[in-house]
Chain A
Amino acid sequence: MKKVTLFLIPLVLFAGLVVFLFQGLFSDPRERGSMVVDKPIPAFSLPDLMHPDLHYTPAVFEGQITLLNVWGVWCVTCAVELPYLTQLVEQENLRIVGLYYDQDLDPDFGTKTVTGVQQEVKNMLNRFGNPYSFNIFDVYRDLSLDLGVTGAPEHFLIDQHGVIRLHHVGDINERVWKNKIAPVVAQLKREMGSSDS
C-alpha cells in the first residue's frame, strides 16, 4: 500500500506539471483583460484627420453601432486588414471610424507636418481601400492611452449609447470576424431593434 502511494505521488506531480506546461503552449502571454469594456467611451475632443477644423466628441458614437479602428500608416498589419475592413463595410453595412495616431509626429518636436501625414494617409487608403466614415486624429495619443491601447491595430466595438462592448487587440480577418466580432454585432443590432419598438 505504502509503495503504491510512493509511486503515485511523483506520478501525480508529473501529470500536473505536464497539464500545466501543455496549456502554456496555447496561452498568449500578451493577452490581458481589457479595462474599458462595458464602460462609456472616455471624454475627448479631437480634430478630424483630414479637416482639422472639425472637432469630434463622444457624441459622434451615439445612435449607431460603430467599430473604432486604431491605426496608422506606419503599421503594417493595419495595411493588411484594410481591404477586408473595406469589404466588411460594404457587406455588413458596418460603420468603421478610424482613430489615427502617428509615430513620427511628436506633437511637440514633430519631424513631420500634418499635411505630410494627410498625404501618406491618402496614398495608403487609395492603395488598399478606405473603410472609414472619418478619421479622428489622436494628436497627443491621449484618447489611445485612456482606451488602454498598446499598439496598432486595435478595435473597439461601440454600441448606440457610446458604450464600449468589445476590445479586440490585433487585426480583423475573416476568422476573427466570424468567431469574435460578428456575434457581438448581431447582439447589439438585436438590442437596438428591441429598444426602437
Chain B
Amino acid sequence: MKTFFCAVVLTTIVLLSGGYAYAADDNYAFEDPKQRETFLRLTAELRCPMCQNQNIADSDAMIAHDMRRKVYQLMQQGKSEQEVIEFMRARYGDFVHYQPPVTPATSLLWLIPIGFVLIGGVAFIARRFYSPTDKQEQEGNDEAMALAEANRILEEEK
C-alpha cells in the first residue's frame, strides 16, 4: 500500500512537472502582473500557423517560439493587445487568431445554426397546427387502403 501511494505521488509530480517544462524555457519578465496576464491571454488566443490547431503558448514549433518573442517585444514597446493581434494578422492572415472576424465566408458559421433553429421552429409550428388533421386523414386513408387491400385478397382467395 505504501509503495502504491509513493508511486501515485511520484507519478503526479512527474506529470505535473511535464506541464511546466515548456513554460520554463522562455522566461519573459514583466514588471506589471497585468502585462503578464495579457501576454498569457495573447499567446493562448493566437494560433500557431504551422501546427494543426495549437495556440502559440502550447506549441514548441520554432515559429511559435518566434511569435511569442515577437508578442513580448511588441508589448514591451507599449503596443496594445489589439495592435499585437493586428500585427500578426497582417502577416499570417485571419487564421492566426482564434476569434474569426465576420466575413462572407465565415458568416455561414453563424447563419447555419440560426437557420437550423428557424427551420426547426417552423416545422414544430407546422406540425402543431396542421398535422393532427393531416394525420387523421392519413390514418383514415391508410385504414381505407388496408381494408380495400384485404378485401381484394379475400376476393382473390374465393
Contacts and interface: CB of A to CB of B under 8 A. Distances in A.
- Answer yes or no: are A and B bound together in one complex: yes
Q: For chain B, which range describes its interface: under 10, 10 to 19, 20 to 34, or 35 or more residues?
A: 10 to 19
Contacts of B91: 35-36, 145-148
Nearest to A72: B62
A145 B71 CA distance: 12
Contacts of B90: 35
Q: For chain A, which range describes its interface: under 10, 10 to 19, 20 to 34, or 35 or more residues?
A: 10 to 19
A24 interface: no
Contacts of A34: 93
Contacts, number: 37
B51 to A, nearest CB: 9
A110 interface: no
B26 to A, nearest CB: 10
A32 B93 contact: yes
B1 to A, nearest CB: 46
A148 B70 CA distance: 13
Given A103-B62, A141-B66, A148 B52 contact: no
Nearest to B67: A145
Contacts of A141: 62, 66
Interface of A: 29-30, 32-36, 103, 141, 144-151
Interface of B: 49-50, 52, 62-63, 66-67, 70, 89-93, 95
